[in-house]
Structure formats: structure tokens, C-alpha cells
Amino acid sequence: MAKYYINADRRLSKINKEIYGQFSEHLGRCIYEGIYVGEDSEIPNVNGMRKDVVEALKEIHVPVLRWPGGCFADEYHWKDGIGPKEERKKMINTHWGGVLEDNSFGTHEFMELCRQLGCETYVNGNLGSGTVQEMSEWVEYMTFDGLSPMTQLRARNGHPEPWKVDFFGVGNENWGCGGNMTPEFYANEYRRYQTYVRQYGAGEGEPGIDNPTLIRKIASGPNIDDTDWTHGVLATLFRHCENRFHGHTDGLSLHYYTHPEGWEIKGSATEFDEKTWYKTLAKTLYMEDLIRMHGAIMDQYDPERKIGLIVDEWGTWFTVEPGTNPGFLYQQNTMRDALVACINLNIFNKHSDRVKMACIAQMVNVLQAMILTDGPRMVKTPTWHVFDLYQLHQDACLLESFIETEEIGMEEEYMVPNLSESASVDEKGKITITIGNLSVTEDYPVMTRITGIGDRNKVSARILHNRMDACNTFDEPDQVSSEVFEGVRLVHGGLEFTIPRCSVLLITLE
């Protein structure tokens, strides 16, 4: 019997809703086909955005959307994507599949998509191949409310009102596809570029990742365990800045993908054995080490934690589906992806004192997607279902919790704990508990003791449970789907239940 302790009297950090963020790049069929089909398409759409996809994304309450990349961001010139569509510059997306980019989805379309989703905007600027002036003018075009050449241009293009940019990335992966820079060179460039990312709105209070009245600026952070980058960037950002501006930044990104067989081989998304299952989950759990590792360096410079660690690319990265363009990164999604999402989201919740935003890669048809499309057809993936179960954590308060686990697995190097959990309480006092069972073969009885349970006596639960390689296909779209779970009993001071193998369980208590 696993013992699970939750202290409802000990509220820790706020779980920013942005931890449940998404990422959409001009890559493969993410934007084009997956989201944007154009107004003349036979696929039902509103202003060119697929109705079915937008509806499905609204169900999981996408809080924030990052765009246009990724590596694409440092090759993107925003003026190519405004004005009459037929006049927009066409180009080859050399980075992703060598296909034609007609720029029919640009700034106005992104803002329209966010309007339909009701989400915040995270725009990633081009530091790698763009100019300071170009970045500065983009921010002016999007957010300035006065009279200027950029606002006149915006008005001529049909949008006199400014938009709100909530987060702005100053470059992406500048250690690699964003210009192959050294940390010191990037940080100096960052300081210069961000100076001209003006705060045009009134803005109130101190800069910092949690101040929504300002554009929060995100610096390009480390790849995986590159602590040299984190040290180098922060040291340069904090030189001669008197700490007043928190190193000129509100966030530092971290990118970490789960590749079960390593970067070169990756492995199939759907055909894998139990050993690979545990290897995948063990590699996913490394996310917690990375957060601790980079978080400790951030603590040296920013002990008050005004700068967020922004995990704006995470998820599984497998070999593409047979027969598809290798540059499109299209992969299926199984219960294994569901457990990867469950583990990562529980880790982000537990570290929400430092992790202030996370964007899974990517929202539709690319890598660990929420949604897959095929012409007019659409399926919600197992990962969509995890985001659906976890949405009650958004903006709730993390609770102190601890679960006794045992090590399971098939290879010494890739042992994992059998269970992963996190718990939160919302402003009405409702407790949300999310638990994953990482075992392919074993069900586990769990006895939960909740300190400060008070008079809460209404329990409900939903579960996502299936065989390890189960997935949703266009012919069978509902094979993996969450359902009501009746197995949770309220006992004096807590809960008892048996969590089935290979499952993600949501319990609420009010």
C-alpha cells in the first residue's frame, strides 16, 4: 500500500496557468492545415482558423501560445507576413522541409487565433538574422497606441487598435539555430535588442515575470544541461545593471526533449517494448534535475525569483511517421506520451516557485501534439486528454505533498518511481490531485492522508487508462479517452483507491 500525504494547510507557490502553455511554429502542418486553412477552405473555419481545432483547444483552456518559432523565429521577417495576402512575399522554409511559405499566416492571423482561443500571446522575435530596428518596429506595430509610421501601417492593414503582447522572446536557441553564438556574445546582443523592445502601454509596478501589465521579455536559455550557457548569459546580463532590472530579463528559457533512443535514432512513436517505455519515462524524469541545476544558478543572480525559468520547448521527439516528410516532425501519440506529459506537468507544478511558464512542443501535427489532423478529420491525442485532466491546476496553489514510491523498471540505468503526483488547491478551496502510474504491469493501492481536509466531502475522479501503446487514429479517434473513475473512497481524514497500471488519474475533493 503506497502512502500519500497531502497537507492542505500548507500552500506553496502559485501554479501559473502559463505552465499549461502551447507552442506553434511554422513547421510542417502545425500552422498551415493544422490550424489555419484560409477563409476559402471547405473545412469549416472562422477567419481562416479551423473551427474543430479551435474548439478542441478551447476545451483545455490554452493559457498562452508561443509563435512563430522555434528555429523559424530567427529566420522570420515579420513584414513579409502583413498586408494583402496576394502581395505577401513567398519564401522557402529551408529549416523545415524545404516547402513554400506563403506568409498567409502572419501577425494579424496570430493575434486573431489568440483572440479565438482567449489566450495570452508569446511572440518570439528574430535576433539571429534580424536587425534591432526590425524587432523594435514589430513591437511598435503590435503594441503602440499613438501616432507613428508603424501604427499607421497597422491601421492600413485593418487593425487600428493595438494588441497586447504578453511575452516576447528575444531570439531562440541562439547557441544553435539562432546564430551559433557564445553565451557572452548572445547576452550582449540580448541587452542591446531588448532595450528597443519598448513598453508602450502604461505598465504598473516593478518588472518581473509575474507583472502582466508589462511585456515580459524572455532570454534564450540553455539546451538541456548546458550550465555554461546559463552561467555565461546571466553573468553578462547582470553586469552593470544594479539588479534593478533583474538582468534586463523576466525569463530564461530551457529546452529539453525526451528522445528515448538518443538524438540520432529517436525511435518509433508507436512501436516500442517495455524496456523502451521505462527508458522514455526515466529520461523524462531528468527534467527535474535540469530545473534544479539551472534553478540553482539562477538563484545566485536572482534570489528573489523575479526571473522565471520558462520551459518553452518540451515533450517527446520520435522518428517521424513512415512516409511523411522528415522535416515535418509528424508523430503519433500514445499512452506513453500521456505519461510523459503527466510526469513533466507534475514536475512543473512542484517547481512552480521557479518554473513560471512551459510550452509543450507543439500544439498541432508536430512532435508531442494535442491534436492531429488529416484533411477535414481531427483527433485528440492522449496528451490532449492529460491537459484536459490537469487544467484545474491552472492558477491554483501548489500544496505540500509526498508519496512513498518504489523503484520499477527493467534496466538498472533506467529505473523510475512507480508513481508521480502533484496536488493543488484553488481559490474556492477545491483540491485537485493528479497521479500517474508509471508501471506497465502493476496496479497500486494508495492510502492518502490529507491534513486540513476540513469539511470537504465531495470526491470525484476521472482516469485515462489503456495499454502502453494505445493511440487515437482517424478511424478510431476515441480509443484513448478519459472516463469517470468510481474507485476513490473517502475515508476518515483521507482517500483510498487503487490506481490501475499505465494510467493518469485526476481526483478532486471539495
Applying CB under 6 A, the residues found at the interface with ligand AHR are 25, 69-71, 172-173, 313, 361-362, 367
HEC per residue, 323-344: CCCHHHCCCCCEHHHHHHHHHH
Q: At closest approach, how far in Å is the CB of 60 from ligand AHR?
A: 20
Q: Compute the distance between CA of residue 377 and CA of residue 43 in angstroms, rounded to an integer.
A: 9
Instruction: Give the ranges where 118-182 is alpha helix by DSSP (H).
Output: 132-143, 149-156
DSSP structure class, residue 173: -
- Closer of 194 and 362 to ligand AHR (Cβ): 362
Helices (H) and strands (E) in the chain, counts: 9, 26
Smaller CB separation from ligand AHR, 180 or 243? 180
C-alpha cell recorded at residue 119: 489566450
Q: Which is nearer to ligand AHR, 166 or 313 (CB)?
A: 313
Considering the complex, what minimum distance in angstroms separates the CB of residue 177 from ligand AHR?
6
User: Which amino acid makes up residue 184?
Assistant: E
Closer of 324 and 391 to ligand AHR (Cβ)? 324
Gap between the Cα atoms of 106 and 361, Å rounded: 20
Give least dist CB 274 to ligand AHR, A. 28
Residue 184: enclosing H or E segment and its boundaries?
A: helix 183-195
Question: To the nearest whole angstrom, how small is the minimum distance from the Cβ of residue 257 to ligand AHR?
Answer: 7
Q: Residue 165 in contact with residue 121, Cβ under 8 Å?
A: yes
Helices (H), 144-273: 149-156, 183-195, 227-238
Cα–Cα distance between 122 and 168 in angstroms, integer? Answer: 6
Least separation, in Å, of the C-beta of 29 and ligand AHR? 14
| Comparison of 112 and 313: residue with beta carbon closer to ligand AHR | 313
| Nearer residue to ligand AHR within complex by CB, 220 or 249 | 220
Q: Phi and psi for 292 in degrees, rounded to 5?
A: -65, -45
Least Cβ distance, residue 23 to ligand AHR (angstroms): 7
- With DSSP H G I counted as helix, E B as strand and the rest as coil, what are the percentages for the chain, rounded to 5? 30, 25, 45
Tell me the residue length of the chain: 510
Strand 49-50 with 45-46, pairing: antiparallel
Q: List 80's β-bridge partners, or say none.
A: none
Nearest Cα to 23, choosing from 142, 237, 192, 173?
173
Give min distance, CB of 470 to ligand AHR, in A: 25
The residue sitting closest to ligand AHR, measured at its beta carbon, is: 70
**CA–CA gap between residue 14 and residue 351 (Å, rounded):** 10
Min dist. Cβ of residue 326 to ligand AHR (A)? 13
Nearest to ligand AHR of 277, 318 (CB atom): 318
Alpha-carbon span 358 to 173, nearest angstrom: 15
Residues with a known catalytic role: 173, 313
Which one, 129 or 152, has the nearer CB to ligand AHR?
129
Q: Which residue has the cell 481531427?
A: 378
**All cell numbers assigned to 147:** 501616432
